[in-house]
Amino acid sequence: MMGNAFSFIVSLSTGAIGLTLGVFLTYSLSSKGKRFEGMMLAFTAGLMLSIVCFELLPKAFEVGGLEIGLLGICIGIGMVILIEQYLDHHKHERMRYDNMYIRRAILLAIAFSIHNIPEGIAIGSMLSLSPEEGLYFAFAILVHNVPEGMIIALPLKKSKVSLWYAIIIIAIISLFMGLGAMVGVSLSNISQMYISLSLAIASGIMLYVTTGEIIVKSMNQWKGRSISLTIILGILLGVILSRH
């Protein structure tokens, strides 16, 4: 029970802090210019790619084998694709309210809530394997959540939603990560295969979101050599962190 409570607190804090930082950055720094926003997104993308490739996937392959790891990656990518299809399908439907920014923010919040569940499961699984590695992974997820918070906050800011309402939305989304962590601890007590699968699913989600969303958005914000260099800088920092 103590393990479940600790995992819940760590995962809840991870989601809340990372997403809230993203919201604050969007509300306070959006006037700094597109180049600054693009470089910030690029840095976090590079960092997450490095952590997934040098930390999470090796651990998933070590615990459950190559086949389970690859299966988890495919499941994670498939989950994001299904969410994207849902968003694309409803994007063109007529809604009863005119504020499309609010609608987009709500759909994004639902999508990130769903994809936070396997990330929470992965945190709980890692904590059950090693508290030190679990906390390190939680930090990686925290960093990953910063640009996600920015993505959610941008349509909210454009629709004149106050900062405090945005933080309330973030708190609700973070609950799903905390619940996922409790599931992860429970699954890890059954079989290490579930740990490997959870890590791989989270890795697949983060790989797809990072390459298909965050990097693309960073390059849309600013087209220049600085974006590529910032991605490389993030990757190098991730390598340093994975070799601590």
pLDDT exceeds 70 at position 115: no
Residue-range definition of the domain harbouring residue 121: 2-242
Torsion of CA 147, 151, 153, 159, to 10 degrees: 160
- Position 3: which residue type? G
Per-residue confidence (pLDDT) for residue 73, from 0 to 100: 93
Res 136: pLDDT:
81
Judge whether residue 98 has pLDDT over 50: no
pLDDT (tens digit per residue) in 24-50: 888 887 666 778 778 877 887 888 788
Q: How confident is the model at residue 75 (pLDDT cuts 50, 70, 90)?
A: very high
Q: Which pLDDT belongs to residue 99?
A: 52
The better pLDDT of the pair 47, 155 is held by 47
- Averaged pLDDT score across all residues of the chain: 78
Query: What distance in Å separates the CA atoms of residue 118 and residue 110, rounded to the nearest whole number?
Result: 14
HEC secondary structure over 4-67: HHHHHHHHHHHHHHHHHHHHHHHHHHHHHCHHHHHHHHHHHHHHHHHHHHHHHHHHHHHHHCHH
CA nearest neighbour of 177 among 151, 148, 208, 212: 148
State mean pLDDT over 117-125. 77
pLDDT number for residue 94: 46
pLDDT (tens digit per residue) in 198-209: 778 878 888 888
The count of structural domains within the chain is 1
Non-local CB neighbours of 52 within 8 Å, separated by 6+ positions: 203, 206, 207, 210
